[in-house]
Structure 1
Amino acid sequence: MTTASDDDAPPQSAAAPSPFPPIADYAFLSNCHTGALIAPDGSVDWLCVPRFDSPSVFGSLLDREAGMFRIGPFGLNVPASRQYEPGSNTISVVWNTPTGWVTVRSALTMGPSRGEDTVTPHTRPPADEDADHMLVRTVTCLDGTVEVELVCEPVFDYGRTPAEWVLVDGDRHTADASGAGRTLRLRTDMALGIEGGRVRARHVLEKGETLYCALSWAAGLAAPETTEEAVAQLDATSAFWRRWFSHARFPDHRWREAIQRSALTIKGLTYMPTGATVAALTTSLPETPGGERNWDYRYTWMRDSTFTLQALHYLNLDWEADEFMQFVADLESNGDGALQIMYGIDGTRDLTESTRDDLSGYAGARPVRIGNGAFDQRQNDVFGAVLDSILLHTVRSKRLPRRLWPLVQQQATCASAVWRNPDQGIWEARGAPQHYVSSKLMCWVALDRASKIAGIRGDRSAGETWRATAEEIRADILEHGVKNGVLRQHYDTEALDASTLLAAVFGFLPRGDERLRATVDAIANDLTEDGFVLRYRTGETDDGLSGKEGSFLICSFWLVSALTVVEQVQEATDLMERLLSVSSPLGLYAEEFDTSTGRHLGNFPQAFSHLALIEAAGRIILHERMRELM
């Protein structure tokens, strides 16, 4: 009998049977310091404490033995329904068992600030409400009787260190788990039993009865002591999100719900102590099923900054926009004055990448990476992203903060000096540097925006200098980056790249320009799979990696925006509706979408996808409103 070798095996499907839940089936919780992912069966499969970029204590997302925390009906895995409590990041799950019904509420709780936060110290002004640094869950029996089980099995330091549990003062309702220099406290009104590296409890709930559990890493390991306190903390958390929600401006439109969930997700990916925004909650969720395209996204990318500011100001979230700009202003630049392409959420510059080879990876996708080796790449698009952000913020606030002008000068000077040089491009290709069109386009954005900021400041000389350089860059792109009337990936290829859609998004060419329209049409027709946009075709691009990848959701949203710009609004609307139809069951988006299986791929939830959704929806809604006035 002969068998095919591994090399002859077909590529792994994103829908292959697996003990790992589909990426899009996870619920996202946040306290704006860290976040959690909860599987449909009620298990917390991802939680890093106390911050987004800390080592995981529950890591079953990346290895089924790397820690989990579940409370729910014993012996059942599939709930009857799951939904966010309206206007919040509190999740409510209803279960139907053969004997009754229960609902489980879960949140990383928020409440009134209680003095200085010593767990995750703030550099921004502390708000009236902040994280409690705990995960609180309640279970209420709606009808009949239900046997409820609690299992808490943290494995510290990305699954390396099993927990050592002890009952606190012999109390079966309070237990501490320690490992890798960290201690968590579990408190519940269920009677706990220690079983090696986990604790477990079981209780039969009667109709109308409620029980709770809380996992704390707060100062002094504070946690609710009664069910009433736990319910009050969950209620306070939902109220916090709704109060925040009430400050935003949401259009009265059929896409309102999608925009609102995106806003809650972006806020949930914000690190409140510094104002930074993480690109995604997770690390190493694969872009290719079973493949090596696995990256750590728990950091802040400068390329995201302009899209972050666009979305925040569009939604009238000016405080969050200002917090983010202050974070950018605090960042330490390189020796030449340029900002790095990414930073840690506390401004850390060194994000040296390592692998955790002891972890299986999500559905076998390895390696699992911690850190991101692209942090010291030179990407010339960073200058445009930063300066477009500053211009947006300046126009909105009607003034240029004094501390931002030196940053404008530095980034404009750097863009002027490097725009002729090849780089790794917006996608951080790990192949040879190239003259990427999108990088030069963003250098044009940098000088164009710098000249406008100089005009606001009244510096006519700097404005004229930067305007002249911007025109020089534009001419160079149009001479070398256009082939057969279409903007290409880089100067030495005819390959397409979705990043050239930024020519429409950033106003590089007027909306009636034939080269712009031809570029948009070429990408829509030749760089899509089942109507969804690829970043590029991996067979045509030396990105230093093997394997295929899914369609990038941000690129599809960019195409919506670009189609709107070139007045193909019906096509834009059709694509927008398709994109909204493939959101997760809870309205969330990963980085990519596998059109062959309908599965999400890549890190989750992805800020870039949600930011681009808001921008694309905003363009179409504005177009519709303008038509109403005609």
Structure 2
Amino acid sequence: MRDPSIEEHAFLSNTRTAALTRPDGTMNWLCLPTFASGAVFASLLGTPSNGFWRVGPAMYTSAPPESRRRYVGDTLTVEQTWDTGSGVLEVTDFLPAPDASGDAPPTVVRVATCRSGMVRLASEFQPRLGYGSVTPGLQYVGHGTPRLRVTAGSDTYWLDGPRHSADRGSASCDMPLKAGQSIVFALTWTRTGSPAPARLTGTTVLEETQRYWTQWASACTYDGPHRDAVLRSALTLKGLCDVGGAAVAAPTTSLPAPIGGERNWDYRHTWPRDTAWMMQALLSLGYTEEPTAYRNWLTTHIDPDGPKPLYSLDGGPVPAEETLPHLSGYRGSTPVRVGNAAAEQHQLDVYGELADLLAQMDDADIPPCPDADRLLLAIALNVEALWEQPDDGMWESRGTRRRYVSSLVWAWVALDRAARVLERHGAADEETLLRLATVAGTVHAEVCAKGYDAQRNTFTQYFGSQDLDASLLHIARVGFLPPDDKRVIGTVEAVERELSVGGGLLLRYPTHADAADNVDGLAGHEGAFLATAFWMVEALALIGRGTDARELLDRLLSVRSDLGLLAEQYDPAEEVHLGNYPQGLSHDGLIRAVLAINTQGSVPAGADELVLAAAES
């Protein structure tokens, strides 16, 4: 079977880790026990020899029949169905929902059922630990119904289900099923030396998992147009959340953007920027538990000296970036990376996104938190000290540091939101508030003076640049300028004109063949960045181009996968998704875009009165 496109994969999650499955029933990406653990199935980024697990029709010499698949209602349970000619086989894949204690070991469950006639079911199980580099030992243990135990170093996996024939690190089984018969497979991780996990009852745990997701989905308060798309995006964001309170940007590493290029990064860590936006999207749909848990994570792990661009999910440092040469990459795209060197960058915008989230939570009447007020004050004081320094920008440039306009807009947001919330809570003295307001006014004036090209009537990517940047679309959304300001309208139109790749899709910024000509310091081009196109929907709606906004939204909704999922980027020429998948930023963008068009929510105010007074003085 051909290597499937990125968007042809289904996404499973238990809010501790995730798995991807192909249309032929192959699970080709699974990290246990956490999102950032080493993969036990890594053939997504290499070949079958790097690990996979297929449950589906027995294939023999021919390819399997085409499958139909769907998420079961408002859940992250995936159901695939094959009509084999002799019968109908259904396989339901899921990761059991987190238990209340958080002590249950992570498990993958696959339930195969013959719905009619007779089918032959096959399971091909080839675990390869360490991202496909380690062939583990396989051994049947126990009495009565033995279990297949897979051990390598500190990791042990237990496969329950029908007996497999095991040989040289792989196992397989092939059996007939008649109408109404079901077989349950369960793969559970434990630390080596721990007691064997309890066997799962497939029907019971399936019902519990579906109930968990259905109840969570029922709390969504949005009931307007495109609700199904919004809810699927919300479920995806929830699936990217970690039980500890943070969220991963995506559950994969090194899915390329573009195919064959070098922009292959590990997204299985938590970016305060991305997570703040994801939490704002959930908050806008009526969810408060996840933003509150993230606020607790922030107050526990963010250093008073300021947030880093990214963290491990446990709040620790991200592992050093390294490449895995034994993996050939998705469709030959190398290098395959784990860890992420962007953790050491200086990204000024992060302060603003965190302050904006904390302010939105306060506006939503979530009970205040003194630790959050202290964090807000620290954020504002850090921005006061750092705003004049060049940074690496929102897009994590590995080239020269610059005075990025969007970074400074978000620096202004940090000062504006902090002053507003701290004044409301009485959490800062008047002298400090006035000083922060004065700095905010200075930042605002400098951006308008040095980041705006009056001849072209547009803001630019950085001071002194002629290039544009899609992150400039945030200027009106965050209230830096009103949406009817000619500079806002001019910027939206310039980005629409100069960064378009057709069909309303946008680049993040201009790219060129030579690395020396690219602001990110990397060679070649990339695909259209899906989140920026959703930002354009918001921007068009804000400046009064509602018809154009709706048309663009319809176009973007049409590029989702059959399961409603979005990767990081899209190639309009090949009509395929690119980059890590599913991408939280893309689904956040979808939710914001739909709400911008279909709700009566107010546009964020400009600088609050305190900041305006300082700017005018």
Q: TM-score, normalised by structure 1?
A: 0.90
Residue 351 of structure 1 and its aligned partner are, at CA, apart by: 3.0
The amino acid of 2:364's aligned partner reads R
**Aligned 8 A contact 2:310 2:318 in 1:** no
Most deviating of 50-59 and 522-531? 522-531
Paired residues in the alignment total 587
CA distance in structure 1 between the partners assigned to 2:198 and 2:490 by the alignment:
60
2:501 to 524, 529, 533: 529
Residue aligning to 2:38: 55
2:548 to 549, 567, 571: 571
1:162-311 paired onto structure 2 within 5 Å: 162-169=135-142, 173-188=146-161, 190-218=162-190, 220-224=195-199, 229-253=201-225, 255-272=226-243, 274-311=244-281
Residue aligning to 2:314: 346
Structure 2 unaligned regions, length at least 5: 604-617
CA distance in structure 2 between the partners assigned to 1:616 and 1:456 by the alignment:
30
1:259-281 residue CA offsets vs partner (Å, 9 max, x unmatched) = 01001000000111x11110000
CA distance in structure 2 between the partners assigned to 1:339 and 1:221 by the alignment:
40
Residue aligning to 1:122: none
Residue 328 of structure 1 and its aligned partner are, at CA, apart by: 1.1
1:528-566 residue CA offsets vs partner (Å, 9 max, x unmatched) = 101201001112632111111000001001111111111
Residue aligning to 1:3: none
Residue 184 of structure 1 and its aligned partner are, at CA, apart by: 0.2
Residue 199 of structure 1 and its aligned partner are, at CA, apart by: 1.0
Residue 332 of structure 1 and its aligned partner are, at CA, apart by: 3.8
TM-aligned CA distance change 1:568 to 1:221, over 3 Å? farther
CA distance in structure 1 between the partners assigned to 2:559 and 2:65 by the alignment:
21
1:26 and 2:3 equivalent? no
**Aligned 8 A contact 2:129 2:136 in 1:** yes
1:159 to 127, 132, 140: 132
**Aligned 8 A contact 2:24 2:67 in 1:** no
Residue aligning to 1:551: 528
1:407-556 paired onto structure 2 within 5 Å: 407-458=375-426, 459=428, 460-483=430-453, 484-530=456-502, 531-539=504-512, 541-556=518-533
The amino acid of 1:257's aligned partner reads D
CA distance in structure 2 between the partners assigned to 1:116 and 1:528 by the alignment:
46
Residue 33 of structure 1 and its aligned partner are, at CA, apart by: 0.4
CA distance in structure 1 between the partners assigned to 2:108 and 2:8 by the alignment:
20
CA distance in structure 1 between the partners assigned to 2:318 and 2:137 by the alignment:
32
TM-aligned CA distance change 1:411 to 1:535, over 3 Å? same
**Aligned 8 A contact 1:79 1:93 in 2:** no
**Aligned 8 A contact 1:388 1:449 in 2:** yes
Residue 417 of structure 1 and its aligned partner are, at CA, apart by: 1.2
> Aligned with 1:267: secondary structure?
helix
The amino acid of 2:236's aligned partner reads T
Most deviating of 442-451 and 399-408? 399-408
Residue 186 of structure 1 and its aligned partner are, at CA, apart by: 0.4
**Aligned 8 A contact 2:39 2:132 in 1:** yes
CA distance in structure 1 between the partners assigned to 2:2 and 2:256 by the alignment:
15
The amino acid of 1:327's aligned partner reads W
The amino acid of 1:107's aligned partner reads F
CA distance in structure 1 between the partners assigned to 2:525 and 2:366 by the alignment:
46
Residue 250 of structure 1 and its aligned partner are, at CA, apart by: 2.5
CA distance in structure 2 between the partners assigned to 1:148 and 1:532 by the alignment:
43
1:32-181 paired onto structure 2 within 5 Å: 32-64=15-47, 65-75=49-59, 76-110=63-97, 112-113=99-100, 115=101, 117=103, 133-169=106-142, 173-181=146-154
CA distance in structure 2 between the partners assigned to 1:172 and 1:44 by the alignment:
25
Structure 1 unaligned regions, length at least 5: 1-17, 118-130
Q: CA RMSD in A?
A: 1.8
> Aligned with 2:364: secondary structure?
helix
The amino acid of 1:101's aligned partner reads V
CA distance in structure 2 between the partners assigned to 1:237 and 1:343 by the alignment:
29
CA distance in structure 2 between the partners assigned to 1:376 and 1:544 by the alignment:
16
Residue aligning to 1:10: none
TM-aligned CA distance change 1:341 to 1:92, over 3 Å? same
**Aligned 8 A contact 1:309 1:392 in 2:** no
Residue aligning to 1:604: 581
The amino acid of 1:194's aligned partner reads A
> Aligned with 1:384: secondary structure?
helix
CA distance in structure 2 between the partners assigned to 1:304 and 1:111 by the alignment:
23
2:571 to 570, 590, 594: 594
1:334-369 residue CA offsets vs partner (Å, 9 max, x unmatched) = 7xx111011110001243101101110111111111
CA distance in structure 2 between the partners assigned to 1:33 and 1:398 by the alignment:
26
Residue aligning to 1:6: none
> Aligned with 2:171: secondary structure?
strand
Residue 116 of structure 1 and its aligned partner are, at CA, apart by: 6.0
CA distance in structure 2 between the partners assigned to 1:238 and 1:217 by the alignment:
22
Percent of aligned positions with the same letter in both sequences? Answer: 36
TM-aligned CA distance change 1:291 to 1:170, over 3 Å? farther
